[in-house]
Amino acid sequence: MLNYRPLPLSALLVLGGMHAAAASTPGIETASKVHPAKGVDLSAMDRSIAPGDDFYGFANGAWTQRTTIPPDRGSYGLGVEVNERTNQRIAELIRNVAQGKVKPSAETKKIRDFYSSFMDEVTIEARGLKPVQPALDQIAAIPDRKTLSRMLGDTLRADVDVLNATSLTTRNLLGLWVAQDLNDPSRYVPFLLQGGLSLPDRDFYLSTAPRMETIRTRYLAHITTILKLANLPDPEGKATRILQLERRMAEAHRSRTETGDVLKGNNPWTRQDFDTKAPGIDWEAYFAAAGLQSQKDFVVWQPAAVVGLSALVGSESVDTWKDYLTYQTLDKASAVLPKAFAEERFAFYSQALQGVPQQRERAKRGIDLTSRSLGEIVGKLYVKHHFPAADKARVESMVANIVKAFEYRIDKLEWMAPTTKARAKAKLAVMKVGVGYPDKWVDYTGLSVDSKDILGNLERIQRFELARNLRKLGSPVDRSEWVMTPQVVNAVNLPAMNAMNFPAGMLQPPYFDPRQPDAMNYGAIGAIIGHEVSHSFDDQGALFDSAGKLNNWWTKEDMAHFEASTAKLVAQYNGYHPLPDVAVNGQLTLGENIADVAGLAVSLDALHLSLKPGKPTKVQGFTNDQLFFLSYAQSWRQKTREAVLRQQLLTDGHTPAEYRTYTVRNQDAWYEAFDVKPGQKLYLEGKDRVKIW
């Protein structure tokens, strides 16, 4: 997964001298004629830095020196720039809908009414807590654990809610993801995942580091403030009990590294197993409320966590759980409650946790929320206006070139057995690659949107998505289904589906521009495409066969070689220190690092195979290989606030952007392109360069 920001629960099951031009090869499409384009950003470079000492600084040093992170952002870089441009386009589309400039339809009316409901601050202030009062009354009336279990089951949602889409865990007690069965690819199965925490990770509750203790103190004050704003009695006492309960939940949670292990996560449970293995919750009441009363089997991704969380439902007092649910109801809705709630939400989750000093203006937040909530309705408008068919065809040809280049790399592997090569190529042959937008759009006909009820709209959307996902159970698996919306600036690989999504939002300058040199397109979007293709063969993707079944198709010798190479990569990334006291976790980030190394290599191969024969023409004084690597490095330029960086290093499976640039250290062509010599800081001996595919 490319991932500029953390993705939700689905990320657990998806898994962001000079060379002469090679002759055209059968099966590879020849690159199209280059049109005039801006080229690499020369103003961003610092040529006083030797590429072999700091390639990121060489490509981006001047940009880094002159760039300040905007006060409403936790980080800023090329991904954010492209995302802002995309949001400006979406904003224009939504404003045109809201102002009646677009021909009205049932779908565009939903966009208009949803956006209007968020922007209507007068109504939100006037209604106060009335929108959440029915839920609060239900919680207050819980008499026993059976009713508590029913209430907890009623909070189960398909993935995380849109107000908390940057979290890797659901704030509901358990999360639901309906996906292809890892043992039987012909059917869907519900996956249940650990949840219940408001802070980003278990370590925020359990770590004794001074910074974490400070955050917990601030979090306790945040809980207290939310309860006070709701005029609830004994807010301090309730807050203390709520934090203690969440800490006990955190103790039951599994670590990020363990959670990312597919083999540890694939735990089939029958409906009866929950009663015997995880007592505490009244599971009959829970599943009935969740709409899963007829489901006979599940996959429990973190069994120990489900056992622990269920035990807490049985052991902690019902009153404490009622306090917890009351707080969660208020806090999760705080962005769309009166201003005092929204400001306290920002003060804690953005200022205290991420160091962001200023909240984005409401209109921008409204555009973002509308785009995430009505994803494919907005996406359909976006691609109609901003993703021409010619761009889709051009990217599809790049995908074909990169897949073919990957096949050639498989053929040339000296260490891989013929049987393993054949199975790898079989998987490659049936890979489903979606470019721009899905083959079929989600039908929103049954969704009701009210221009005066933003919280109700969000609740109805969440229940709509839950029902849509539950309907998959018992239906044929659809490998063309997307897990991203077309306007998202990101990309994803779905190992169990043997499929990928490359949204239109990602397919724009400078990542992709049909006017710029092919070397730049392959260095930016090509490396991203190669990254996602490579995910099908990384430490997790390699566990799935061509049908998406969890099946070991490697020989023991091949797997041993693969694991030895990945161990070298873990050690390489463990050596990077973004902060003096914190290193990159090479094991946590292994899958993404494998995909970076392999994706960059295969994209360079595809570039060479697609170029016309003859002497390479320089652009801006750079050869094709130099343009390729510079474009790659500039695609990762980013500045990040320390608080955000610390959180990323602890919780995110992606290496910080600067260190993803250092992937070039493993590419022989980079050394030749920039005359990198022994003794320079990034230089690696040939034996130490990691080459997996």
Is the pLDDT at 281 greater than 80? The verdict is yes
Is the pLDDT at 27 greater than 50? The verdict is no
Helix H or strand E segment including 668 = helix 668-673
How many CB atoms sit inside 10 A of residue 446's CB?
9
Using CA atoms, how far apart are residues 592 and 403, in angstroms rounded to an integer? 18
Any idea where the domains of the chain sit in the sequence? Answer: 40-69+389-438+486-688, 156-322
DSSP structure string for 255-313: PHHHHT-HHHH--EEEHHHHHHHSTTS-HHHHHHHHT-TT--EEEES-HHHHHHHHHHH
* Three-state SS at 567: helix
- Grade residue 615 by pLDDT with cuts at 50, 70 and 90: low
Predicted confidence (pLDDT) per residue in 448-468, tens digit: 999 999 999 999 999 999 999
Q: How confident is the model at residue 28, as a pLDDT? A: 33
Predicted confidence (pLDDT) per residue in 486-511, tens digit: 999 999 988 888 899 999 999 999 99
CB 620, CB 27: distance < 8 Å: no
Considering only residues 551 and 64, tell me which one the structure prediction assigns the higher pLDDT: 64
Region 570-596: what's the mean pLDDT?
A: 95
Q: How confident is the model at residue 542, as a pLDDT? A: 81
* Three-state SS at 100: coil
Helix H or strand E segment including 503 = strand 499-503
Start-to-end Cα distance in the chain? 18
What homologous superfamily does CATH list for 156-322? Neutral endopeptidase , domain2 (1.10.1380.10)
CB 654, CB 596: distance < 8 Å: no
Region 377-402: what's the mean pLDDT?
A: 96
Q: How confident is the model at residue 693, as a pLDDT? A: 83
Q: How confident is the model at residue 399, as a pLDDT? A: 96
Residue 268 burial class via C-beta count within 10 angstroms: exposed 0-12, middle 13-18, buried 19 and up: middle
Q: What's the mean pLDDT when you consider all of the chain?
A: 90
Is the pLDDT at 9 greater than 70? The verdict is no
> Per the omega criterion (within 30 degrees of 0), is the bond before 510 cis?
yes
Give residue for tokens 């030797």.
50
Residue 41 burial class via C-beta count within 10 angstroms: exposed 0-12, middle 13-18, buried 19 and up: middle
Task: Report the topology of domain 40-69+389-438+486-688.
Answer: Collagenase (Catalytic Domain) (3.40.390)
40-69+389-438+486-688 and 156-322 agree in CATH topology: no
Q: How confident is the model at residue 61, as a pLDDT? A: 98
Is the pLDDT at 20 greater than 50? The verdict is no
Q: How confident is the model at residue 506, as a pLDDT? A: 96
* Three-state SS at 192: strand
Q: How confident is the model at residue 167, as a pLDDT? A: 39
